[in-house]
Structure 1
């Protein structure tokens, strides 16, 4: 038991809130058994009998994952998964079902489920999948935090510095940027240096990587 607690604990990142395992299961015996198992493993657990109860209580800023029964009395697990996706709530989902069928399985995985487990499921397999789901959730939240920090840096740039950064990302040389912006090459170099300083990079390659993280190369974000 101690080893399992230590293994699950690896999912908790330093400085991050404690992860919560959310359970949506209408069968009271199954719900209580899952709650007891996970609580004994050291997890914070919140359990609900319906998808509606979960939606009313869920706080997206709470890290964790969702154990979700497919057959629920109000809306199905698949429908709840769709609702969460429509609201861009990226909580990792592990489906539980008494009897899986091919169409539901395909839809669950197509919509991003971590796994679909048939009941009864072994404790070892369930804990392994939960560990995987919590790691995925932690990575998603870390990336989102990184993007927020990068945007804060970008927002410190002046309009001209953003123009220079956009041209840099498009492969313009200093001379080409000077012609495009109708300024001197020396002024371009000053703006380029300030872009590097404010975004915290030391090279064009690092700047490109930074812009990839915030999706700059997929959309125009610096237009006024």
Structure 2
């Protein structure tokens, strides 16, 4: 019988290895898998590369992971905010690397990874430092930059409900990068507010099919990270 639910958040993240690339869902605090990230701090993996829209909020979730010195590199769209002071300080001290990727580009790089594409051309970033060292082509009169897929070893995602097969539904804006990150990672780990019986989810409402999910853990009352 297929049952992808783990016993605890700690069991769910037990196999994350040093040097892994982790795709972390969440747009600010919306859909942020805080409990999975705190379990990863306890687990001890180091030298991580993390992909997220932001660079952590206050001192919980991703910010706590950064503060613990576990993240070697951040790949994100918005590293600078009033509540990203943990990352800001560590970056100023040279203790963490940063790759800035425009929000639409980061989403499409994740999509390319999930779809098995080799990359794509986009006009975004042309003529800026973000295009340095990248191939540029003139396509229909527009200079376009070649961007490569963004694969993850693991994806940490928050969803609203899941059945034991790993089929997921999300709650409003908390969906954000979750579906595309599930597709772009080798191992997807999801924390959900509620486990439901198989067949309880309307097939038309399922956003992420269980084929893209390897592990689920129930967290009925997740901490808000923002």
TM-score where L is the length of structure 2: 0.31
More helix by share: 1
- Higher relative contact order, chain-length normalized (CA < 8 Å, sep 6+): 2
TM-score where L is the length of structure 1: 0.31
Larger radius of gyration: 1
More strand by share: 2
